[in-house]
Amino acid sequence: MKDNSEEMFPLVDEEGNITGAATRGECHNGSKLLHPVVHLHVFNSQGELYLQKRPDWKDIQPGKWDTAVGGHVDLGESVEMALKREAREELGITDFTPERLMHYVFESAREKELVFTHRTTYDGTVTPSEELDGGRFWSLEEIRSNIGKEIFTPNFENEFRKLNF
């Protein structure tokens, strides 16, 4: 498997207003074209946080543990539509109520994203897709004790610190 480099993404300003469009390949080649993504932090009622394991074939941060749901907003999609689609595709979750937490710009050597971060509490069945290398619920203490050990994506660690879970 690999990502479709021709997939079309909207380009946005720092408030999320659409300013154009570009392919996934163009957005991830170091161009720093700002494009929107969604993150969903999935907690269970015991307060544990679900993390997904990124597969080794991913072009960015392969093999690392990451936010439960993360994905790009496709051209023509709203943030809410992308959040519901990604939760369904990645974890098989369809019945949840997202709470918007924040949005911010994340920049790495390869890309620049406008991240719309949400959380939800969910006790139903989680079924990770073949796109992922599985996943599991972690206690917040277990996450805190592994920060900085190259286990998690830098993006997840930064967001976890910002949100102060």
Cβ(4)–Cβ(72) under 8 Å? no
pLDDT tens digits, the chain, 165 residues: what are they?
A: 556 888 999 999 999 999 999 999 999 899 999 999 999 999 999 999 999 999 998 877 899 999 999 999 999 999 999 999 999 999 999 999 999 999 999 998 888 999 999 999 999 999 999 889 999 999 999 999 999 999 999 889 999 999 998
Domain that residue 132 falls in: 8-163
Using CA atoms of 86, 91, 94, 98 in order, give the dihedral in degrees to the nearest 10: -70
- Asked whether residue 3 is domain-assigned, the answer is no
- Asked whether residue 96 is domain-assigned, the answer is yes
- Asked whether residue 43 is domain-assigned, the answer is yes
CATH number of the domain at 22, please: 3.90.79.10
- Asked whether residue 18 is domain-assigned, the answer is yes
- Asked whether residue 131 is domain-assigned, the answer is yes
**Cα gap 31→10, rounded to integer Å:** 14
- The total number of structural domains in the chain stands at 1
- Asked whether residue 129 is domain-assigned, the answer is yes
pTM listed for this prediction? 0.92
